[in-house]
Amino acid sequence: MRALVMTEPGGAEHSHVLDLPAPEPGPGQVAVRVAVAGLNFVDVMARRGDAAYAPSWPHRPGKEIAGTVLATGPGVTGLAPGDRVVAATHGGGLAEIALADAALTVPVPAGVPLEVAATAPLGLATALLLLTDAGRFTPGDRVLVHSAGGGIGGAVARLLPLLGGGLAVGTVGRAAKAAAAREAGYAAVFARDAELPDRLREATGGRGFDLVLDPLGTTALDLDLDHLAAGGRIVLYGNPGGGAPAGLPPFGRLLGANATLTGFSHAGLLAAAPAKVADAVRRALDLLATGALAAPVTTVPGLAAVPAAHDLLAAGHAEGKYAAVL
């Protein structure tokens, strides 16, 4: 079977489509014939060699898949060959056949196309868990989201009205990405430039944000705290610049802002609380099945087209969500 393999840290030049032996499912595992694989910034972080994202080399990227069950390993119940499923994988999803834990493999409801379903295990589940589990969103909250024009940013804006609605304000690194964020449903989108503090103050009438979803390492944390409503929550969940993030603000700053600072890691939940991720995936698929949730996706053709799509993500030029159709 063919699989995308990253042979050493760097860029697209080290991503190759190779023929590998088909993997056999072990106890509690499922082998899935992958039809569509979601693309995510975490694969770009692994590709460039960020510590903890690619623990060993060669690296097999791909953390969310949709397809059909090929075979089940010992002890697996409730899943059978031919079932249409999605799965959050621990890696290796960008391949014709991927292994997944049965606990993280969820049937796809009838009527949900696999291109769309493939964005649920990591992308939609993360957006949902950021808002609900980590962010404790309540209807009416004023929510600030950085990197609003990307895959997670778009999903957050589309989910927020389904959770009761509120004010969604986004920031983008380049003004050109504002249109993608507005299309996803943000009431206002601002470039992260010198005028941003004034724009954010105007957007909430000076009342601040109840929830900030911040994937920018610690680079925007001072800004987040400056614009946080008393008792507000900030969720940190990314480090797109790589390297060691700067430290957290001093103790007194957090106390003075009455701030709750939370971390979120999809990979951490896969290891420690997989049922939470599986529940979020099920909930996202249900919202897709009823038509309540739209999840637009830009597809790229085949594994060979993935390195160029990863280049787009790496350069910060990606808009919306991407998936590879195998």
Ligand X SMILES: NC(=O)c1ccc[n+]([C@@H]2O[C@H](COP(=O)([O-])OP(=O)(O)OC[C@H]3O[C@@H](n4cnc5c(N)ncnc54)[C@H](OP(=O)(O)O)[C@@H]3O)[C@@H](O)[C@H]2O)c1
Residues at the site binding ligand X, with contacts judged by CB under 6 A: 40-42, 126, 146-147, 149-153, 172-174, 177, 215-216, 237-238, 240-241, 264-266, 313-314, 316, 318
* Closer Cβ to ligand X, 33 or 60, answer by number: 60
For ligand X, the closer CB: 72 or 119 = 119
Within 8 A by CB and 6+ apart from 33, the residues are 67, 68, 69, 70, 96, 97
Amino acid at 174: R
Residue 313 CB, nearest approach to ligand X (Å): 5
Identity at 160, one-letter amino acid code: L
> For ligand X, which is the closer residue by CB, 132 or 265?
265
Residue closer to ligand X (CB basis): 137 or 264: 264
**Residue 148 CA: distances (Å) to CA of 40, 81, 313:** 15, 38, 14
Q: Residues 190, 200: contact at Cβ < 8 Å?
A: yes
Q: What are phi and psi of 105, to 5 degrees?
A: -110, 125
Partnered with residue 228 across adjacent β-strands are 209
CB of 111 to ligand X, least distance (A): 25
| Contact assessment for residue 210 and residue 13, using Cβ atoms and an 8 Å cutoff | no
Q: How far is the CB of 316 from ligand X (least distance, A)?
A: 4
In the bound state with ligand X, the residue whose beta carbon lies nearer, of 141 and 319, is 319
Nearest to 217 by CA among 37, 45, 2: 45
Side chain identity at residue 11, one-letter code: G
Would you say 32 or 189 has its CB closer to ligand X? 189
Q: Kindly state the smallest distance separating residue 309's Cβ from ligand X, in Å.
A: 10
| CA quadruple 25, 29, 35, 37: dihedral sign | negative
Smallest separation, CB 10 to ligand X (Å): 15
Q: How do the residues of the chain divide into helix, strand and coil, expressed in percent and rounded to 5?
A: 35, 25, 40
Give me the least distance between CB of 321 and ligand X, in Å please: 7
Tokens describing residue 21: 């032996």
Shortest Cβ 82–ligand X spacing (Å): 30
User: Which residues in the chain belong to E strands, given as ranges?
Assistant: 2-6, 15-19, 29-39, 64-72, 84-88, 97-101, 105-107, 142-146, 167-172, 188-191, 209-214, 228-236, 260-263, 298-301, 322-325
In whole angstroms, the minimum distance from the beta carbon of 200 to ligand X comes to: 15
Angle at 301 between CA 299 and CA 306, to 5 degrees: 85
Rank residues 76 and 209 by Cβ distance to ligand X and give the closer one. 209
The residue (of 66 and 71) whose beta carbon lies closer to ligand X is: 66
Nearer to ligand X, 174 or 207 (CB): 174
Which one, of 45, 56, 23, lies nearest residue 314 by Cα? 45
- Least CB distance from residue 264 to ligand X, whole Å? 5
